[in-house]
Structure 1
Amino acid sequence: MNKLDKKWQLKIVCLLLAIVLWFVIINEQNPLSEGSYTVPITVENLDSQYITSNVPKTVYVRLSGPRNTIINVGPSDIKAYIDLSNVQEGEVEVPVHVEIPGGTELKKQSMTSTKITVDVYTVKEFKLTPHVVGKLDDKDFISDLKIVPEKVVVSGARRLIQQVNQAVVDIPVNQRNGDFAIMAPIHLYQADGTPVEGLEMTPWQSNVKVTIAHNAITKTVPLNLNVQGETAWKTVSVQPTAVVVKGEADTLKNIDTIDLPDIDIENMTEEKTWKVLIPPIDGVVMDPDEVDATLSIKKEK
C-alpha cells in the first residue's frame, strides 16, 4: 500500500510539473503582447428630433493579450460609441464606451468622456435678398432683377437658425453694361452682418437674371430708422444717413425716403456697430446698399 501511495504521489507531481512546463512553453511561443488602435466613435440611440455637433471622430485604444490574439485584432474589431438615449438639448458630457474582443484587456483609452452639443433639428424658409456688389457705369442701372428660386430652405441646429436674419445673394455687376444671368451662391447672415455657418441650404445657389437699362437719373434719399426697445439711455444712429438712388425718372419720383429694417436693442447692454442691408427696390440701384448702425449707450441721469 505504501508503494502504491508513493506511485500516485509521484504521478501527481509529474502532472503538476507537466502543466507548469506547458504554460512556460505556451508563454514562450505566445507571450503577452500589446496593440494600439484608432477607433471611430459612433453615436447611438439619438432621437430623430436632435442633431449633434462637436462629437470626436476617433478614440485611441491600447489592448493587451496573447500575441496570437493581438495580431488578429484590427480597429473594426473594437467598438467605440456614445449612448444618447436620454439626452436633451444643450451642451452635455457623455461617457465614451469601448467594447473589446474576448481574450484581450483594455490598457489605455485616450478619452473616457466628451462634451458634445445637442440641438433640436429645425427647418425654416427664408426669402432671398439681392445684394449688388460693385458699381455700374454712371448712366446704367438695373431695371429688372429676377431670382429663381426666390426662397431658400435652411435646415440644421435650431440655435443656429435662430441667429439667421437674412439669406443674401451677391450679384457682381463690375464691368457689366448689358443684360446677364449668373448662378450666385446664397449666404446666411446674422443681424449684425456676421456669417452663419454650419447649416444646410436647399438650394445653395440661385439663378439671377439681370436687365440693365441706360440713361439713368440719380437722387439722394434719406434713410428712415425705426428702433424697437429704445430707452432714454440707448440710441442708434446710422452712417450714412442718406443714399444715392439711380433709376428711371418715373420710378424715382415716388421715392422720398427709404425705411431700414427694424432694429431691436431691447437686450443690448454694450455699444456695438453692425451692418444693415438696405431693403432692395425694384428698378433702383442704391449707393451704398448697406449702412453701419451704431448703438450708443449713455449714462442714465
Structure 2
Amino acid sequence: MDKSENGTLIVKIICLLLSVVLWLYISNVENPLRTYELKGIPVELTNEDSLVDSKFAIVNKQPFTVDLKLEGPSSEILKVKKEDFKIVADMSAYALKVGENTIPVQIMSYPENITIKNNGMLGIKVNLEELTQKELTISSKVKVTYKENIYEKEQNINPKTVTITGGKSSVDKVTEAILTGEEKDVDKNKQGDYNIQFIDSFGNAVSNIESNIKTAKLSITVTNGKTVPVNLKTKGNVPQGFVLDGYELSKNNVTVLGDSQVLNKLESIDTEAVDMSSLQPDSEVDVKLNLPEGISIGDGDGSIKAKFKLKKEENTTKNIECNVQYKNLSDTFLVTNQSLVSNVKLSGTQEALDKISSQNLSVILDLANVKEEGTFDYTPQATLVNANNVTVSDVGNVSVTIKKKG
C-alpha cells in the first residue's frame, strides 16, 4: 500500500469518529424532540357484563389494539414499551347495535415526558351479534379400556345437560357437548369429573361460548362377562316345494354379563325356536335369546336377526322295485312265475321322494285278455297311495308265463 492510500483511510476513520461524537452530543446534551409510532398496544375492555344485559356478544372475540403516535425527548422515546400504557374501552358507556360499533378508548396511564399526538381520535371496532342460549345433552367420549373379562354394564352422566351462552354464530355451530378424557384397565366401578368440550359437526372445538358448568361426573358400572357362541334353534319344516339353502345370523357370538359362577357354566346361548313352516324366500326374522336367570347381554337388546335362504326344490327321480299283483285271469289258466316284480320310476321333490317306499305303491297287472299259453311281457298299472308331490313317470315291463290248468 502506498502513502496516498494510507492517507485516505486515516481521513475516513477520523470522519467516522467525528460523526459518532456529534451524534452522542446531540442525543445526550441537546436531547432533541423525536416522534415515533408504537403499534399494537393492547386495549382492555371494561364493563363487558353490560353486553350480556343488552343481549349482545362479541363476534369471534380477539385481542383489541391501537397504534399511538408519540412525541418526546429522544432519550425517553427510546425507552418506551407497550407495557407502559394502560388503555381501556368502556362497553357500558355507549349505545350499541348489532354489527360493527366504534368504541372510543381512554388512555389511563402512560410514561412521563411523552406526548400522545393522536389521543383525540382513538377507537376500536367491535363487531356485535345477538346473544343466545342452547341446552345440550352431554355424551361421553371418554376412552375407557377394561381388564380381561371385565365389561361395561352402564354409564351415567350427572348432570345430563348443559346450557351454553354466546354469540348466535358460535352457539349455532355447537352440535355436541362431550366429556373428554381417558381411563385404562378399569376393573371395578368408577366415577370421576371430566371436562366438557363443545364441538361442531366436523368434530372441531367451538370457542367464544360460556356454559353454566365446566365439568360433569361420569359413573361407570362394570360386571363380569365372557363371549359365547349363539345356537340357533328351529321347529317344523320349510314350506313344501322349498329347501333350506343356509342361514346367516347377525351375531354368531354375543357377550354375556352376570355372576362369575353362572358364567363359568355357560358355554353357549340358545335362541327361541324359529318356526320354519312360516318362512318365505330370503326371510329375515328377529329371534330372542334364551338367557339364563341373572344373565344379560352386554352388546344388544337380547335378540339377534336370522336370515334364512330358501330355494325352490328341483324335481328328481327315484326307482322302487315293487311286487306285482295280477287280476282277472281266466280260471282255465294259471301263472307259473314264483313272483312278479316291476321297477317303478317316480318323479318329485327330494323331500317328498324320501318319504316314499314300496308300501306307497299298488302295482296291478290285468290279465283279462289272456287267451292262450305262453310267456308274455306286460306293463302293469302303478298307483300311488298317501303320497304328495310325487308322480309315476315310468313302470317297467313284467314277463309272465301262462299255462293251462291240468
TM-score by length of 1: 0.49
Point out which structure has higher relative CO (alpha carbons under 8 A, 6+ apart). Answer: 1
Q: Which protein shows a greater Rg? A: 2
